[in-house]
Structure 1
Amino acid sequence: MADARFAPQPFKKWYWAGAIGVLLFMLIGVAGYLATVMTPIEQFPADRQALMAAMPAWQTSVYAIAVWSGLVGAVGLLLRRRWSVPVLLVSLIGAIGTFLPFAITPAVRELGTEGDVVAAVVVIALCWTSFWFARHSQQRGWLR
């Protein structure tokens, strides 16, 4: 017998508020990424310069994957497309990878602040929520 929780449900209008919220969050991520990669390192405060210099080279690529796939996934939610679910999963994995140097790279760990840890937790939690929202919407039959 099929689980009634996953039977198609009537579309809820609050979906649009969630989809727009995901889009706004992802746009903030894109803005942060662009600010990071387009600003000369000399314009950052000295402590941030040291942290950025200590980051592994692959971190910027993973950051790019996280924010751009997140933006594509958010647009997919606005279009009510089911492909937004795996795209937002890629974004979530990318977000985790973006902050991974704080856990595995000793120099980054030493230069990181409590604010960096809080930012990592908040960003990963919001990426998880975005992915969960897309998955929930797909299970309810709201994505085509």
Structure 2
Amino acid sequence: MKNTTSRPPVWFYILTIILLLWNAMGLFAFFDQVMISAARLEALPDNERNLYENTPVWAVIAFALAVFGGTLGCIGLLLRRSWARILFLISLVGIMVQMYYNVFIGKAMDVYGPGAVTMPVLVLLVAVFLIWFANYGIRRGWLG
């Protein structure tokens, strides 16, 4: 692994910490979904409860790849490691698989309405930005 010679500016660290917090929120959402209690599940409307109960394992794994890849990628940025880009690519694949399930198979928009598309689009945009940002850091010599 080559050594970086160029130190990133302060804004790089500030932005990376903000992006790490964003991904940490994704981790909380993931654990909230996979560890939902029976009582909370029972309190949900039938159509929403069905979404939780019928989510296949592969969609949950995609969700895990998305949030853990993004979070670990941000930690990689803070450590100035170029492998962050690979984790962001894995995260993007996880996001796309999860979105495919939610939109086309799980029919989440039927449950939550058209507003349900706002957050997934934002998540996708942030994921694409993170890949670009890692590439930018590599080109600038900040990541090695």
TM-score range, shorter chain: 0.7 to 0.9
Letter in 1 for 2:62: V
Give aligned-pair identity as a percent: 27
Q: TM-score, normalised by structure 1?
A: 0.83
Could you say which residue in structure 1 is the equivalent of 2:139?
A: 139
Give the whole-Å Cα distance in 2 for the aligned partners of 1:30 and 1:115: 22
List, as ranges, runs of 4+ consecutive aligned residues in structure 1 with deviation greater than 6 Å: none
Is contact 2:30–2:67 with CA below 8 Å preserved after alignment? yes
Secondary structure at the aligned position of 1:120 is classed as helix
Letter in 2 for 1:83: W
Change in CA separation of 1:35 and 1:88 when aligned onto 2, cut-off 3 Å:
same
Is contact 2:109–2:117 with CA below 8 Å preserved after alignment? no
Give the whole-Å Cα distance in 1 for the aligned partners of 2:54 and 2:131: 30
Q: Does 2:26 correspond to 1:11?
A: no
Aligned residues: 137
Is contact 2:88–2:131 with CA below 8 Å preserved after alignment? yes
Could you say which residue in structure 2 is the equivalent of 1:65?
A: 65
User: Which 5+ residue runs of structure 1 have no aligned equivalent?
Assistant: 1-7
User: Which 5+ residue runs of structure 2 have no aligned equivalent?
Assistant: none
Is contact 1:41–1:49 with CA below 8 Å preserved after alignment? no
Q: Which is further off, 114-123 or 23-32?
A: 114-123
Secondary structure at the aligned position of 2:62 is classed as helix
Q: TM-score, normalised by structure 2?
A: 0.83
Secondary structure at the aligned position of 1:39 is classed as coil
Give the drift of 1:129: 1.4
CA RMSD of aligned residues (A): 2.1
Letter in 1 for 2:24: L
